[in-house]
Every structure is written in C-alpha cells, then in structure tokens.
Amino acid sequence: MDKQEQILKAALRLFVEFGFHGTPTSKIAQEAGVSNGTLFHYYKTKDELVVALYVYIKTKITGCIASGKEEGETIKATFKRMFVSSMYWALENPIEFRFTQQFHSSPYLSMVSHEEILKQTRYLMDFMQEAIDARVLKPLPTDLLFTLISSHLAGINEYLVASKVDNEKQKEIINHSFDLIWDMIT
Amino acid sequence: MDKQEQILKAALRLFVEFGFHGTPTSKIAQEAGVSNGTLFHYYKTKDELVVALYVYIKTKITGCIASGKEEGETIKATFKRMFVSSMYWALENPIEFRFTQQFHSSPYLSMVSHEEILKQTRYLMDFMQEAIDARVLKPLPTDLLFTLISSHLAGINEYLVASKVDNEKQKEIINHSFDLIWDMIT
DNA sequence: ATTTTTGTGGAGTGATTAGTCAATCTTTAA
DNA sequence: TTAAAGATTGACTAATCACTCCACAAAAAT
C-alpha cells in the first residue's frame, strides 16, 4: 500500500519499455494506481523521480552485494561471492538491471550528486584498495578495476539474457567468467 | 551542403546532450539549419531518424575497424589492430560512441532489423570463427566472445574518458588492456 | 520547352505533456 | 475534542511536440 514505492515500480517498468521521455508522468500515475497529484506530491519533477528511482535501485544492488559476508573469508572468496551475487541479482532482476544500464548511458547520470555516487561505490572501492594493499590485486587504479569488472559483468549478463542457456550451463559460464576476470586483475 | 547529413549530425549532438525524447525534432531542424518540413521529407518519423543515425554511425565504425588489413598478418596482429583502432575511434569520436551506448541500452535497439545487425557484425563474427577454427581463440560461442570484447572496450573507454591520463599513459593502458582481453579469450 | 520529380520552407494543427491548484480526506498531536 | 499537518484527488493549463500541408523552387526526364 506504499504509494511512493508503487510509483517507483510503475515508473521502472514503463521507463524500461518506452524510455524516459517516452513515458508520460500521467501513465506512471495511472499504472501505479494513484492520481497525478500524488505523484507530484512525492516527486517535485519528473527528473527528480528518475533520479530517485536510480538511487532506489542502486541501494538495493549495493545492499545485496555487501550482504552475506562470512568470517575468515579469503579475499578471493569475498570477491567471488560479490561477483556471483551481482551476476545473479542482474539475472533475477532484469528490468532493474536494464534500467541502471539505460540510466548510466543517459544524460540523467549527471544529475546524480557526487556524494550519492561515492556512497554507492565506497564499500567496493575500499575493499579493492585493501586487496591491492594486501598484494592480491594488481596495483591498478581502483576506478579502472571497478570499470573493468562492471563492464565484464554487464557483458556476461547481456550474453546470458540473449542466449537462453540452461541453469547448469549458466552456472558454468558464471564460474568461468569469474576465473577470467580474476586472472585479469591479479 | 548535404542537408541529410547535417540533420544527422545535429541530431547526434542533441541526442547525446538531451536524450532521445528530450530533443524535439524542431530543434534538430533548427540546429541543422534546415526547415521542419525538410527533416520530415528525409525521415518519415522521429524514430526513423534515430535508427538511421544509429546505422550511419555503426557503418562508420565497422568501416574503420575493417580497414587497414595487411597481408601476412597473424591472427593476433589482426585482432590487436582491430582492438586498438576501435579504442581510438571511440576516443576520437566520443559523442558518436556515447550515442551508440545510449542507443544500445534503449528501447530503440529493437527497432533495428535483424539483417542490419548481422550486416554490421558479420565481418567480426566470421573472423572470430576462423580464429577459433585455427585453434587460436578458445572455442566459446562467437557472440559471447563478441560481447566480452565489446564490453571490455566500453569499460576501458569509460575509464580513459573519465580519468584524463596523458597520451603516453593512455597508449600504455590500451596495450595492457589488449593483453588482458587476449589472455582471456585464448 | 515542358512536364515530372524531387527538394525546401514554414506556418499551422491536434494531441499530448509536465506541472498546478484548490478542495477533500486521513492521520497525528496537543 | 480539536487543530494542524500531511496525503490524495482529478480537473485544469500553458507550453510543447511530432507531424501535415501546401506553395514554390530546382533539377531531371521527356
């Protein structure tokens, strides 16, 4: 019954299907089962809604990646756990993932404050820096490492979504693609 | 004086800055220095213009990658030449490259005919298949290889654009990133 | 020379859009 | 119990948009 969340969910579906400007706010409100006024009560402008949706989704991904840490895990194990959970998150939430991709390569990205981006990436950045200090990862700039891994993930995801392989084969590809990227960065 | 090309160039600039639906056709015509009617004389709809622009740019990239082949080149040398020229094309044509990225992760992608996509990728796909048959590349599906390389390229590009390293360092990173992807796929 | 085709301009149009507003309903707080 | 604050509605508006239409100019074909 949380209208705010219903608005975000409706917006997500429509944005991915019709693009940002291709979906009118009126349709978002309709799809969410709320009035036009309610939408603008929560989000002053359409731009604000788009950015809020991005932050909402990014927070969910970040939370998912950060969770599940176990004591005494090696750096490699932590890395793999995060890699694999990112991969499965993207596979299980294809619309959310597509949205983030769409958002990233759109002019909206520049509307996200620098602090918000830092907040979302700090956990991973810190972890990678530690892994470099521990002489596990190659001493590359952390943002280069981050970009390499992100784009690798996006690439594998694109392939897995396009070519409908069975679950077993999928698992195999994910494991293999982890080995590939691991060899690349260590 | 080619009005058609001026329209495409104006559209490109505006689409990248303001997004697809964020740029009105009237502004494209204005920026191109032609009338509204002329724009719709060449492109029946805005969607048709967007897709035409994509094909226009893709054709340029494909031509650039395919050119420069020398006799007696090893497979690795051919691969590296194509990798490096893609990389530099993206760096020298950042707006065109951003457009293709934006297009790829947008609902417009599905408006491109399957044949057109095949036409654009066949050259590379065939080359990769040959490289697999020659036991140089790992026997992975060619579209997985393609996706892996494309996303790797996009990732490196993103990094190079964001962190303004000098030309020498840039060259070093490009060479290094080729080695990384080469090790990954062979 | 004359017809036909193609290119070009720009005012015009109907539909659509983001965003407003004043009126009601609901919840919270005193 | 009552007052204030927040939530919700949907009709409304001013602006904007994709696209049309028709007049005319240039070029090509006859």
Which residues, in sequence order, are CB contacts of B80 under 8 Å at separation 6+?
A: B178, B182
DSSP string, B33-90: TS-HHHHHHH-SSHHHHHHHHHHHHHHHHHHHHHTT--TT--HHHHHHHHHHHHHHHH
User: Pick the residue with more confidence: A186 or B103?
Assistant: B103
Question: Integer distance in angstroms from CA A5 to C1' C20?
Answer: 23
Confidence of residue A164 (pLDDT cuts 50, 70, 90): confident
Chain center to CA of A69: 19
CB of A42 closer than 8 Å to CB of A7: yes
Tokens describing residue A60: 């969910």
Residue A1 clears pLDDT 80, i.e. is over it: no
Under an 8 A CB cutoff, do B151 and A155 touch? yes
**A139-160 pLDDT tens trace:** 999 999 999 999 999 999 999 9
pLDDT value for A128: 96
Of B16, B159, B180, the CB nearest to A143: B159
Distance CA B39, CA B14 (A): 15
Chain B: closest CA distance from residue A12 (Å): 13
Question: Integer distance in angstroms from CA A38 to C1' C24?
Answer: 14
Measured CA to CA in angstroms, residue B103 lies from A104, B7, B24, B48, B150 at distances of 12, 18, 17, 13, 15
pLDDT value for B74: 95
Name the protein residue, with chain letter, whose CA is nearest the C1' of C6. B41
Distance CA B49, CA B30 (A): 15
Q: CA triplet B51, B53, B59: central angle to 5 degrees?
A: 105
CATH for the A1-44 domain, from 1.10.10.60, 1.10.10.10, 1.25.40.10, 1.10.357.10: 1.10.10.60
> What's the whole-number average pLDDT of chain A?
95
Q: Is B43 exposed, middle or buried (0-12, 13-18, 19+ CB in 10 A)?
A: buried
Three-class secondary structure assignment of chain A = CCHHHHHHHHHHHHHHHHCCCCCCHHHHHHHHCCCHHHHHHHCCCHHHHHHHHHHHHHHHHHHHHHCCCCCCCCHHHHHHHHHHHHHHHHHHCHHHHHHHHHHHCCHHHHHCCHHHHHHHHHHHHHHHHHHHHCCCCCCCCHHHHHHHHHHHHHHHHHHHHHCCCCHHHHHHHHHHHHHHHHHHHC
Residue B116 clears pLDDT 90, i.e. is over it: yes
Identify nearest nucleotide to residue B47 by CA to C1′ distance: D18
**A125-138 pLDDT tens trace:** 999 999 999 999 99
Tokens describing residue B160: 């190079």
Residues of B in contact with A22 (CB under 8 A): 20-21, 107
Say whether the CB atom of B172 is under 7 angstroms from strand D: no
Distance CA B62, CA A109 (A): 28
Distance CA A16, CA A100 (A): 10
Summarize the confidence of residues A65-91 as an average pLDDT: 94
CB of A106 closer than 8 Å to CB of A47: no
pLDDT value for A68: 85
Q: Number of A:B CB contacts under 8 A?
A: 91
Distance CA A33, CA B146 (A): 42
> Domain-by-domain residue ranges, chain B?
71-185
Question: Integer distance in angstroms from CA A185 to C1' D3?
Answer: 64
pLDDT value for A163: 87
CATH class of A55-185: mainly alpha
pLDDT value for B184: 87
Q: What does the DSSP 8-state code read for residue B107?
A: G
Residue A183 clears pLDDT 90, i.e. is over it: no
Chain B: closest CA distance from residue A181 (Å): 8
pLDDT value for A184: 87
Distance CA B186, CA B180 (A): 10
Residues of A in contact with B117 (CB under 8 A): none
Say whether the CB atom of A34 is under 7 angstroms from strand D: yes
> What's the whole-number average pLDDT of chain B?
95
Chain A: closest CA distance from residue B137 (Å): 14
Residue A9 clears pLDDT 80, i.e. is over it: yes
Chain center to CA of A168: 24
CB of B153 closer than 8 Å to CB of B173: no
Distance CA A98, CA A93 (A): 9
Distance CA B23, CA B13 (A): 10
Summarize the confidence of residues A89-108 as an average pLDDT: 96
CB of B105 closer than 8 Å to CB of A20: no
